[in-house]
Structures are given as structure tokens and as C-alpha cells.
Amino acid sequence: AQKITQTQPGMFVQEKEAVTLDCTYDTSDQSYGLFWYKQPSSGEMIFLIYQGSYDEQNATEGRYSLNFQKARKSANLVISASQLGDSAMYFCAMREGRTNAGGTSYGKLTFGQGTILTVHP
Amino acid sequence: DGGITQSPKYLFRKEGQNVTLSCEQNLNHDAMYWYRQDPGQGLRLIYYSQIVNDFQKGDIAEGYSVSREKKESFPLTVTSAQKNPTAFYLCASSSVSGYTDTQYFGPGTRLTVL
């Protein structure tokens, strides 16, 4: 079974409007982290936002917010006031829990297949 | 400025040759990672290292090898045993302490086998 599912291969949005990119995940861990990355045509992966499984508030970073619904295992990315420069591939990723001796979690990421976002003027 | 560098940006290899991709970071991160990305796909983990002189296989390690002799450096060798090496390779690093272990990526190396 896929651990991270992004069901929208492509999305279109008008400039200045908001858009939601879907992400669902599957894990039996209690401690995990969810990440969103942006990949423009240059190829570099740009970190956008992080949500920890124990965080009670939805994460926000500027125009990006993460709609975290733990019971539904979804972590959708919301981009407000879309800009032409937002056109890119967007990836959702999960880090499952792994705690070292110091009590900090870290571990490898599993990525979804991505959603291509196109912003129209 | 702190960051991750990868070289070369483009690499062409003949079949049967080994090639080494460079990854260097000056973020003082303990952990480093190598991912492979095929066209239109997500990233798949090849190898990762959480500390110097130690590394673990990821999901697709066959045909690849790594070393971690210095904290700053995590080179990836694509060997002739890798059957389909043409892909985009991304290196990342992260802290292993603190609130998050966000992985930060380098600009990538695009490998083409001729």
C-alpha cells in the first residue's frame, strides 16, 4: 500500500486565488512528520512547510498553510493568493517516527508522486 | 552562505563505467541522504547516513555505493551494476536534533547513460 498518496496529477488555478493540494498518508506510528516541498522546473526541492503529528495547530508559513486532519490521515497544502511563480511540482512527504537516545525523532522521508500546479494569469 | 552543493550538474556516462556524484554541505548537519527521481515521479531513497562512518541502505540501493568519511561530504557512486542509472539525483541533509528534522536539498545532478 502507498504510504503517501497525492491523487491530483495536475491542478490549475487563477492568479490571486487560493488552491488546495491533497495528500493522504498511511502509518501506524504515533510520532511522525509531514512535509511539503516545491520543485520548480530547475529541479531543486524547496522546503515549504512542516507538521508534526502531535502539533495541535495547523502549520502556517506565509501564504502556505497545512490543513492537518489526523483522524482522516490527510495533510493538504493550501496556497493562498496564488502567484505565477507558484507554478511547479509539489510533493507531500512523511517521516515516520524514530527516536534516538536523546528523545529526538528523525528518519527517512517517503514521498508522494507529486501534483503539477499551473497558475494562470 | 550555508547550503548544499552537488557536482556536476550534468553527467554523461558510457555503459559499463562507474561514476561518482559529489555532495557537500556546510550546514553542520549530521544526517545526509541520496534520492533518485525518474521523470514525472516522486523521490526514492537510495542511501542515508546519520553519522560519520555509518550509512544504511534505502529502498533502491542495488547498484549504488556511498561513503561518509567526513561530516560535510557524502559521495554517491553509480556502479556498472545499476541497470538503469539515467535519472535525476538529489542529495539532502538534515539535523538530527531539535524540533524538526527537515531535509534540505541540493540542486541535483542529472545523469545520462549513453
Residue B95 with chain A: CB contacts under 8 Å = 106
- pLDDT one-digit tens code per residue, B48-94: 998 999 999 999 999 999 999 999 999 999 998 888 999 999 999 99
The answer to whether B44 contacts A111, with C-beta atoms less than 8 Å apart, is yes
Q: Kindly report the nearest CA distance between residue B83 and chain A, in angstroms.
A: 22
Residue A105 with chain B: CB contacts under 8 Å = 101
- pLDDT one-digit tens code per residue, A12-48: 999 999 999 999 999 988 888 999 999 999 999 999 9
User: What average pLDDT score do residues A83-107 get?
Assistant: 76
Secondary structure (DSSP) of chain A:
--SEE---SEEEEETTS-EEE--EE----SSEEEEEEEE-TT---EEEEEEETT-SSPPEETTEEEEEETTTTEEEEEE-S--GGG-EEEEEEEEE--B-TTS-B---EEE---EEEEEE-
